[in-house]
Amino acid sequence: MRRVARKLGVIAIVVSLAAVTAAAQITESEFRAYLSKKATINADDLAELDRGGLVVKGLPASDKQEVAVVGVVRVKQLPTVTLREFRDSLSPKSSKEMDAKGRFSNPPVIGDLADLELEERDFKELRKCIVGDCDVNMSADWIDRFGKGLDWTAPDHKQKATELFRAMLLEYSRDYSVNGTASLGAYSNRKDAVSLSGSHRSLLENALFIGELAPELLAYLKEYPKKDLSGVDSYTHWSNIDFGLNPTVTLSHSAAFTNSAGDHFVAARQFYSSRYLDASLSLTMLLRFPDGVTYIVFSDRSRSDALEGIFHGMSKRVVEAEAIERVKNLLKNSELRLITAKRPQTEVITPAAEISFRDRVLKTLLSPLGIVSVIVVLLLIAYAAGRSISRKQK
């Protein structure tokens, strides 16, 4: 049951790792009205923002595989912030679970992935992969390449498997850089194949803020790479992340943009993940209004087949609760880093009274996740039992 709990915790982390943004020429009152209408921010939440607090909430999602979260913080008298400072404020200062990462060239080349290595558990999973049953997200073609095109009895099979995996990531990255999400095809490693282009299209259509506040960024992401956007800082990158359960390799597209009013936007689209997530789109924005008032807003929608099953509602609530804690820390640290951006930089330390037990246990991670209560653990046991019964009945 510990494995189930940790897997859900990993999904919650990945759900909230990315960051994005949007902005437009609107008044503060119009923006607050929009928060109330589209982000379920009520009068009490607005009052909390006015007191200097932050508000993070889960959002309704029509798809049972989808989890969504939004977070807002209101800052008074924030010094002038550059786009780079804003982007940097959203990134963790250190990460022991981030084994390796790299930015792709334009166009991507195999040398960009030279630092990517697989682990023993990756080799074990890849070796037994078949279409319809594989722990690693892949298309049917790539599953066949690992199964039929690789001699797993050869002395150098690990080196060959690593080279093949790098080639797969390079192909995904090149295809995305040429044809965007339309080139991503489908994952065929589970019973029902997942259309990736459809998943990404749905996430973008349902994303908060971007259509109303940054229509030019929305158009750019929809038509990428066919659509140009003047002043956008756009690149793709890979990360190899190990949360202690199973490692996951992700491919992401980041786009940062500043509009004519000086508002900053950062968009992050995860277009490949070897485990846990099928698709993810995060949006973060920094909006400035008269009288020195600034809002930092984060929203994320992510999809995962791990949220299916008999107890999918319960598992989604667990993931959402942990994602909310993660976003609270993200916004809290972003605000503090921006406020102190012109001073000598020091690591932001959360007051001891606010650090939970699990925060201390997982202090080497990107950011604290928050404690999972005994009641949740019991629910996870029920969830796992239900999944086991369901499999036996098939």
Q: What confidence category does residue 372 fall into, taking pLDDT thresholds of 50, 70 and 90?
A: very low
| Model pLDDT for residues 157-208, shown as the tens digit of each residue | 999 999 999 999 999 999 999 999 999 999 999 888 888 998 899 899 988 8
| Model pLDDT for residues 91-130, shown as the tens digit of each residue | 765 444 445 589 999 999 999 999 999 989 899 999 999 9
Residue 277, pLDDT score:
84
pTM of the full predicted structure?
0.76
**Any residues with CB less than 8 A from the CB of 227 and at least 6 apart, and which?**
219, 220
Residue 211 has pLDDT above 70, yes or no: yes
Of 66-70, 75-79, 186-190, 276-280, which one has max mean pLDDT? 186-190
DSSP β-bridge partners for residue 306: none
Residue 369 has pLDDT above 80, yes or no: no
Residue 360, pLDDT score:
38
The pairs formed by 219-226 with CB atoms below 8 angstroms and a separation of 24 or more are: 220/255, 220/257, 221/255, 221/267, 221/269, 223/180, 224/180, 224/181, 224/253, 225/177, 225/178, 225/179, 225/180, 226/180
| CB-based burial, 13-44: b 16+ in 10 Å, e otherwise | bbbbbbbbbbbbebeeeebbebbeeebebeee
Q: What confidence category does residue 293 fall into, taking pLDDT thresholds of 50, 70 and 90?
A: very high
Lowest mean pLDDT among 252-256, 322-326, 366-370, 388-392: 366-370
Residue 368, pLDDT score:
33
Mean pLDDT, to the nearest integer, of 293-322?
70
Q: What confidence category does residue 262 fall into, taking pLDDT thresholds of 50, 70 and 90?
A: confident
Q: What confidence category does residue 355 fall into, taking pLDDT thresholds of 50, 70 and 90?
A: very low
| Structure tokens that stand for 120 in this block | 């023993």
Q: Which helix (H) or strand (E) holds 94?
A: none
The pairs formed by 197-200 with CB atoms below 8 angstroms and a separation of 24 or more are: 199/278, 199/279, 199/303, 200/269, 200/271, 200/279, 200/281
- The one-letter amino acid code at 195 reads S
| Model pLDDT for residues 16-68, shown as the tens digit of each residue | 443 333 334 689 999 999 999 989 899 999 999 999 899 998 887 767 778 88
Instruction: Name the CA dihedral angle for 193, 198, 200, 204, rounded to a multiple of 10 degrees.
Output: -150
Of 25-29, 35-39, 151-155, 308-312, which one has max mean pLDDT? 151-155
Mean pLDDT, to the nearest integer, of 369-392?
44
Residue 82 has pLDDT above 50, yes or no: yes
| Model pLDDT for residues 213-252, shown as the tens digit of each residue | 889 999 999 999 999 999 999 999 999 877 556 788 999 9
Lowest mean pLDDT among 43-52, 133-142, 335-344: 335-344
Q: What confidence category does residue 138 fall into, taking pLDDT thresholds of 50, 70 and 90?
A: very high
Round the average pLDDT of the chain to a whole number and report it. 78
Of 75-79, 151-155, 237-241, 291-295, which one has max mean pLDDT? 151-155
Domain ranges for the chain, please list them: 2-393
Mean pLDDT, to the nearest integer, of 247-275?
91
Mean pLDDT, to the nearest integer, of 278-285?
91
> Of all residues in the chain, what percent carry a pLDDT higher than 70?
72
Spatial distance between the Cα atoms of 143 and 15, rounded to a whole number of angstroms: 26
Residue 379 has pLDDT above 70, yes or no: no
